[in-house]
Amino acid sequence: MYSPSSKAKALFFIGFMVVTASARLVAQQHEPITVTRLYTASDGQTHAENVEVKMSPATIYAEADASQAVKVSEAQFFRLPKGKVQDWHNPAHRQYVVTLSGRGEVEIAGGQKILLSPGRVVLLENVSGKGHITRSIGSEDLTFFIVPLAVR
């Protein structure tokens, strides 16, 4: 029966720690933060594009990055019960919507559907035109954190 020496055990442990630390570094490298932006185009329809949030070194924390600050007017939580649908509508104002729990989808022009799952950030700027449909499609309520932007 093989019994590794103390040295072999130590080398294995050090190797394991290096691989684990390396995996953490790779996982925490500067992955882009992406926001799905919904906007009204000249055709009056809602369209979507993915926009990368620009980050730069933070001034108050070493080794941290930050985006530019966005002026907001308020914030609120919103819950759409499972299976519910908000038919065609527009947001009252420009706002960020962050999905906290549940699953859903937003339907826009041409039947395109944007899936909503925890962590998804959507910037709603389609305050005019046909708007969009929001559906709670999962087995649980769809909850959001809504952050309306200050009026420009």
10-residue mean pLDDT profile of the chain (152 residues): values are 48 44 50 93 97 90 88 93 96 96 97 97 97 96 95 78
* Cβ atoms of residues 129 and 77 within 8 Å: no
pTM of the full structure: 0.75
**Sheet of strand 85-89: strand arrangement:** 85-89, 132-136, 104-107, 113-116
**Which pLDDT does position 31 carry in this prediction?**
81
CA angle 149-51-32, nearest 5°?
Answer: 110
